[in-house]
Amino acid sequence: MKQTIGLGLAIFVQHGREQEAADFYSEAFEARQLKTHRIDGELAGVEMLIGGTRVSVAGSNPQREEEPSYGGPFFPKAAGAVSMTILLTVPDIEVCFAQAIVAGAALRDRVQTDTEGRRVASLFDPFGHIWMLTERRADMERASPDQLVAQADKPGVSALRA
């Protein structure tokens, strides 16, 4: 049996805001809370499912925040002060975008059509992370991973730009 690679994400927020973040992701992106993790009785993280991807929402370690030389991960100190964006493919971008704004997200880029004909938008969540929304296209849903790689290798097809 061939093993496949799985991917999960850990989204770090300011210590003490873990449940607030989990509640936001539930409201904005229909995430399901699966399990909470506590250290000495204090909430340290929330395990969630966004679509089919496991996401851990964790509070950054206050000791690491006080001594940056220990290394992160750290929570964003300002909107967009991050080293990665979170890409979310959604069935209806208008609905998802509106839900996220109502839940407390801030506008980064309005819903628009990009140079490849995809409907895209981006938001700042209340914790500083950038969420890139792309509307699911029927032709991409049916494509195998090999077909997606071949499509990306075609001349004139640009990589997704943040």
For residue range 7-29, what is the model confidence (pLDDT) as tens digits? 889 999 999 999 999 999 999 99
Residue 88 in contact with residue 25, Cβ under 8 Å? no
Domain map (residue ranges) of the chain = 1-75, 76-154
**3-class DSSP state for residue 158?**
coil
Phi, psi at residue 109, to the nearest 5°?
-140, 130
Q: Which residues have CB under 8 Å from 32's CB, separation 6+?
A: 26, 48, 49
Task: Tell whether domain 76-154 is in CATH 3.30.720.110.
Answer: yes
**What is the pLDDT at residue 161?**
42
Q: Using one digit for the tens of pLDDT, what is the confidence trace for 39-88?
A: 999 999 999 999 999 999 999 988 888 888 888 888 999 999 998 999 99
Flag whether pLDDT at 144 surpasses 70: no
Q: What is the pTM of this model?
A: 0.80
Strands 9-13 vs 53-59: parallel, antiparallel or unpaired: parallel
Residue 51 backbone zone (phi > 0: left; psi -120 to 50: alpha; other: beta): left
How far is it, in rounded angstroms, from Cα 123 to Cα 146?
A: 30
Question: Is the CATH number of domain 1-75 3.10.180.10?
Answer: yes
Task: List pLDDT tens digits, range 83-127.
Answer: 899 999 999 999 999 999 999 999 999 999 999 899 999 999 999
**76-154 matches 1-75 in CATH topology:** no
Q: Quick count: other Cβ atoms within 10 Å of Cβ 136?
A: 13
Instruction: Give 133's pLDDT tier (boundaries 50, 70, 90).
Output: very high
Structure-block tokens of residue 85: 């964006």
